[in-house]
Amino acid sequence: MQQLSQEPDPAFDLAVIGSGPGGYEAALRAAKAGMKVCLIEKGALGGVCINWGCIPTKALLRSAEVFDLVKKADYFGLKVQPGTIDLAESVKRSRNVALKMSKGVAFMLRRAGVDVRQGEAVFSSPHDLDIFRDGVRVERVTASHIIIASGGHARTLPGLEPDGNRIITSREALALKSVPTSMIVVGGGAIGVEMAWFYAMAGTAVTLVEMMPRLLPFEDEEIAEVLKRSLQKAGITVATGAKLEQVAVAGDRVNALLVAEGTDSRALSADYLLVAVGVSGNCSGLGLEHAGVESSRGFIVTDSLCRTSAGHIFAIGDVRGGMLLAHKASAEAAIAVQTIAGAPSRPLDDSMIPRCVYAEPSVASIGLSEKQAEDGGCTVHVGRSMFASSGKANAYGNLEGLVKLVFSAADGRLLGAHVVGHGAVELIGELTLARHLAVTADILADTIHAHPTLSETIKEAAENALHDKASTLAKKPL
């Protein structure tokens, strides 16, 4: 028999399903706007990002970065004893960082007066959400508006279904107790690259397999090629335009056949196979059919303001699809709450969203690649500046990579910015602002940058683009 709360059904202005970056941001913004807000979370506050994604991943990557620096101590004039990475302690540190951030979310929600309910939310009608704990319905929440921020889960491919033991996702990879001898990583996107680099730095023999012709298939080709060379230099075997066949677990090994066009297939065997081939939205189990909310291809269908087919219900973050990024979810939270409050809001422009990969060297970009701009009919001027010529990069001992800027030849505005190198993810902020303000190469070149800094490379790339522009004009017949 179902156990129901004896308290009367509460009524809220807004109920939010999920407490990830989009969910808790929406709840905080709505509470600040004077709404009575309920947030429903079935797991730890902060969602996958804080607990099993962005934050613990970056904590582990930092451990790998420090470990790699220690191995290069002689280069910096330091005499230290060679060591090994203690994966269990690194994982423990990452879990502590995640726990601290989760507690921070709980504190902010409590201070804002958001009513947090623990459990799994399921629509029973367009305005009613039943909350289940351990499969038992314990209460019902009624709200005038609802924001679905239920996040996503790792996508699988036929024949590569994770078993949580030898065929794993990034979630299991974040909690291994010891460094494996070998690992196959399927997927050359951000998650696959980051996990491949981390385990390679820890001492694992890593093979990275990507079905598309290059790593980071949606990024600038030149940047992706620099990253590939760097990963290979770090000891990672990179196979692009390739796939796995005949995958089978045999005892404590995973065996597979690597098949790539134009080359002979070869057998692979590893301790683990990590599947990182994308994310699908958490749509199932929400009872969307009871609310009149449509979904398609694993994601909830919305308009440009995050509104679903039910006008009072919104969807944000990974469950909405598009770029699967925490900061995109936060931006969508602002759009949804502003729309609910009746305030002016603008649709999200994907070309204004920065994208980052946190390996070493890191990759960061915004806007159009050179090819995307040209395919869109734009004539462009391209500026490049290599970190090898940067005084700060030389002082750091990180010489790989470059800044590549793509400007419109018609009006000079920045169309796209692409960085690969140490600190790239920290440099993208200036370039995101430049893209947002339609800054030109002249403005970036005229902006005084502190010396010595890595950011000087942005100024130098802009100057290089102006040189490219001048050279093009000089070649034109009078």
What distance in Å separates the CA atoms of residue 289 and residue 112, rounded to the nearest whole number?
32
- What digits encode the pLDDT tens for the residues 383-437? 999 999 999 999 999 999 999 999 999 999 999 999 999 999 999 999 999 999 9
Which pLDDT score is estimated for 83? 83
- What digits encode the pLDDT tens for the residues 326-357? 999 999 999 999 999 999 999 999 999 999 99
Secondary structure of 15-53 as H, E, C letters: EEECCCHHHHHHHHHHHHCCCCEEEEECCCCCHHHHHHC
Burial of 223 (0-12, 13-18, 19+ CB in 10 A): buried
The catalytic residue positions are 451
Q: Which residues contact 342 (CB under 8 A, 6 or more apart)?
A: none
What phi, psi does 453 have (nearest 5°)? -140, 160
Q: How many CB atoms lie within 10 A of CB 209?
A: 26
Whether 395 and 348 have beta carbons less than 8 Å apart is answered as no
Expressed in angstroms, the distance from the first to the final Cα of the chain is 88
> Does the structure show a pLDDT above 90 at 132?
yes
Which pLDDT score is estimated for 84? 87
Token digits for 174?
Answer: 């974040």
Question: Could you give the residue range(s) of every CATH 3.50.50.60 domain in the chain?
Answer: 11-154+280-349, 167-277
Domain 167-277 class in CATH: alpha beta
Q: Which residues contact 193 (CB under 8 A, 6 or more apart)?
A: 208, 215, 216, 227, 231, 357, 359
> Does the structure show a pLDDT above 50 at 5?
no
CA dihedral 170, 175, 177, 180 (to 10 degrees): 10
* Cis? peptide before 452, omega within 30° of 0: yes
> Does the structure show a pLDDT above 50 at 98?
yes
Which pLDDT score is estimated for 2? 46
- What digits encode the pLDDT tens for the residues 149-172? 999 999 989 999 999 999 999 999
pLDDT band at 263 (very low <50, low <70, confident <90, very high): confident
> Does the structure show a pLDDT above 60 at 37?
yes
Domain 11-154+280-349 class in CATH: alpha beta
Question: Could you give the residue range(s) of every CATH 3.30.390.30 domain in the chain?
Answer: 361-473
The CA-based diameter of the chain, rounded to the nearest angstrom, is 88
Whether 357 and 365 have beta carbons less than 8 Å apart is answered as no
pLDDT band at 125 (very low <50, low <70, confident <90, very high): very high
For 361-473, which CATH superfamily applies?
Answer: FAD/NAD-linked reductase, C-terminal dimerisation domain (3.30.390.30)
Q: Which is higher by pLDDT, 82 or 31? A: 31
From residue 423, how far is each of 115, 195, 444, 473 by CA, in Å? 39, 18, 19, 34
- What digits encode the pLDDT tens for the residues 137-146? 999 999 999 9
Which pLDDT score is estimated for 261? 82
> Does the structure show a pLDDT above 90 at 220?
yes
Which pLDDT score is estimated for 476? 62
**Over the chain, what is the mean pLDDT?**
94
Tell me which amino acid residue 136 is: V
